[in-house]
Amino acid sequence: MDKLHQTALSIFETLVGFDTTSRKSNLDLIKWVESYLRDHGVDAVRVANADGSKANLYATAGPNVPGGIILSGHSDVVPVDGQDWSSYPFTLTTRGDRYFGRGTCDMKGFIALALAAVPLFKNGAKPVHIAISYDEEVGCLGAPDMIADMAANLPEPALAIIGEPTNMHVITGHKGIMVHKVEIIGHEAHSSLTHMGISANMIAADLMHDLNVLARRLWENSDPESPFVPPHATLTIGTMQGGTAANILARHAEFMFDLRCPPNVDGEAVLKPFKEKITALDGQLREAFPSCGVQLTRLANAPPLTPQNSGEAEAFVRKLTGDNNPAGAVAYAAEAGQFQQAGFPTVICGPGSIEQAHQADEYILVDQFARGAALMERLALALNQKE
């Protein structure tokens, strides 16, 4: 085990020890990272959420000049509720060739490796900007404020590497994600008197049918050339609730749906007819009973990562990793599209496999962690070479 690997491992243990499930505060982790960076003479900038209960953090190791590299990771992790773990999820545990713990591959391993390399990055001719976000797992909600702050205040960085688990392959595309909630308020009446009320459930079923038809149409419009799996936009209804008894017209119903579009499919256009129907329906229901209605709320909206033809970020990271596989695309959403939208050439590349993410007994292979350490060392070397 080389020295960087060893340093990173002790940081890794600390980071996994913070329970940063998205619904909780991540401030303990952020405070720890701040003090770690301060010990290395690096100042960090916090970009907090509205009520101050969570924060992003970014920091520059190395000179304050343009042409730096952004290394980005999210601090939050998915819940362990209802999962059967062999060891405590918030204690990093080594068994065989694997490090187990919540967030090991998604994605505290990458953050630990980046932090461990700060002393190396500090000597570079070009800087490394470490960016740590919150609320990625609930729709990439935290990063946009930080990215805006970075775009406004940093000397123009050359590119961004998002360290989501890709087994160290270079990924140049991901789908965008939109999450919506639909809420229907009906009018209660005895189920035998359907003319006296409005069943929110029956309205919901009609709207969900429309989404089903839409999902099928998206599937039928598969693009055989698409690098994405599946090669089309997807739409699914993830939750539904409604009604209180079989013999009462339901007063309330709601459901949530998730739309994921590759870069060549415009999510707004896909949803336009559905939105128009909701507006019309809302008017009709209000006319029947003023308290009734249908409301669509957008809960998340993160843009896709569009593969770039010029590919300077891709070429740079390929040189670091030696990855010669064709550039891939991933089906999961990430913050990469948000960085790209802010004008930074962006790729995804990080240790570990997405197949181990979000699972019970989440792990990262020791070998993947070592390859992540090698990436950081090569990056430091590349930035040291004065042109």
**Interaction site with Zn ion (CB under 5 A):** 106-107, 164
C-alpha–C-alpha distance, residues 256 and 83, integer Å: 23
Nearest distance from residue 366's CB to Zn ion, in Å?
A: 20
Chain-centre distance for alpha carbon 130? 17
**Range list of β-strands (E), the chain:** 44-48, 55-61, 69-74, 93-95, 98-100, 128-133, 159-162, 171-174, 176-185, 234-242, 252-261, 293-302, 328-330, 346-348, 363-365
Closer residue to Zn ion in complex, CB, 164/361? 164
Nearest distance from residue 78's CB to Zn ion, in Å?
A: 9
Distances (CA, A) of 366 to 15, 105, 369: 17, 11, 5
Closer residue to Zn ion in complex, CB, 250/354? 354
Closer residue to Zn ion in complex, CB, 164/183? 164
Of 141, 120, 161, nearest to 351 (Cα)?
161
Closer residue to Zn ion in complex, CB, 130/383? 130
Residue nearest to Zn ion (CB): 106
Reply yes or no: is the peptide bond before residue 144 cis, omega within 30 of 0: no
Nearest distance from residue 160's CB to Zn ion, in Å?
A: 15
Are the beta carbons of 352 and 104 closer than 8 angstroms? Answer: yes
Q: What element of type H or E holds 371? A: helix 366-384
Nearest distance from residue 331's CB to Zn ion, in Å?
A: 13
Nearest distance from residue 136's CB to Zn ion, in Å?
A: 6
Closer residue to Zn ion in complex, CB, 164/377? 164
Closer residue to Zn ion in complex, CB, 22/306? 22
Closer residue to Zn ion in complex, CB, 107/313? 107
Nearest distance from residue 149's CB to Zn ion, in Å?
A: 21
Largest CA distance in the chain: 81
Buried b (16+ CB within 10 A) or exposed e, 142-170: bbbbbbebbeeebeebbbbbbbbbbbbbb
Nearest distance from residue 107's CB to Zn ion, in Å?
A: 5
Closer residue to Zn ion in complex, CB, 34/164? 164
Of 57, 60, 54, nearest to 41 (Cα)?
60
Nearest distance from residue 330's CB to Zn ion, in Å?
A: 11
C-alpha–C-alpha distance, residues 149 and 155, integer Å: 12
